[in-house]
Amino acid sequence: MIRIAIVEDEQLFREKILRYLHRYEEKNKQSFSIKTFENGMQFLTDYRPEYDIIFMDIEMPYLSGMETAKRIRKVDSRTAIAFITNMANYAVQGYEVEAIDFIVKPFTYEVFEYKLGRILSRTEDKREKSSIIVKSDDLVHNIRITKLRYVEISGHTLIYHMEKEQLEMRGSMREAEQLLEGHGFCKCSQSYLVNLRFITRIETNDVYLGDFAIPISRGRKKDVVRAMSDFMARL
């Protein structure tokens, strides 16, 4: 599943992009999860780095697409941003936010299809690196890093907690640590491995993922704070 956001203030073009995405999806046997937003301010509200591709208009009220992209890049260096614009003279500014492409209005389906195909090809490696493969019973699961909140171990059972589901399998915390090494996770105790992306605050004895608290063992508080600081500095 490829997650796509459309940020476009003009309803005509917002619906056009949505229609073209569905057409591409059907024609090329792809699977898209698509959300639409009317402006950058709306999009940035409760933004999480969960999108593979963002199609964004540059000239929007309240907050331009370029400024929206700059704010996104402060917390998300991975997602591909493709600008939709009436003018083709934004290349220098686009370079500053690592825009993957520009689509100039008006555009036909054929142009959009070509651009989208190129974007998907360029981002394929990133999508592969943003997931892990785990086995439960005889099933193989592909877990997106941006959806995995934390890993818990209970006895000899590893529990992978996602936003809306969880997976259980036999294993050790050491195996989970090795699998998630380099993906922005921190060990809070012998029982919990937490995705730093979801930490909203750190208190004396707990890290919080929203309203959910996970205990920090006495000897790991400094390591957790350091890992969080290093992670934020890389964004």
Measured CA to CA, the distance from residue 29 to residue 223 in angstroms comes to 45
Q: How wide is the angle at C-alpha 222 spanned by C-alphas 218 and 223, nearest 5°? A: 100
- Furthest CA-CA distance within the chain: 60
Mention every residue, 6+ apart, whose C-beta is less than 8 A from residue 106.
none
Tens of pLDDT, residues 2-15: 889 999 999 999 99
pLDDT at residue number 74: 84
Domains annotated for the chain, with CATH where assigned, are: 2-129 (3.40.50.2300), 131-234 (2.40.50.1020)
Tell me the average pLDDT of the chain: 87
Higher pLDDT, 189 or 98: 189
Residue 92's identity, in one-letter code, is: V
Q: Name the E strands within the chain.
A: 2-7, 32-37, 53-57, 80-85, 101-104, 131-136, 139-144, 148-154, 157-162, 166-170, 185-187, 192-195, 201-202, 206-209, 212-215
Between the two ends of the chain, the Cα-to-Cα distance in Å is: 24
The pTM of this model reads 0.59
Measured CA to CA, the distance from residue 202 to residue 199 in angstroms comes to 8
The residue behind tokens 């909140």 is 149
| C-beta of residue 57 within 8 angstroms of C-beta of residue 8 | yes
CA 189 to chain centre: 26
4 token code pair: 């796509």
Tens of pLDDT, residues 126-185: 655 577 888 777 777 888 888 899 999 999 999 999 988 999 999 999 999 988 887 889
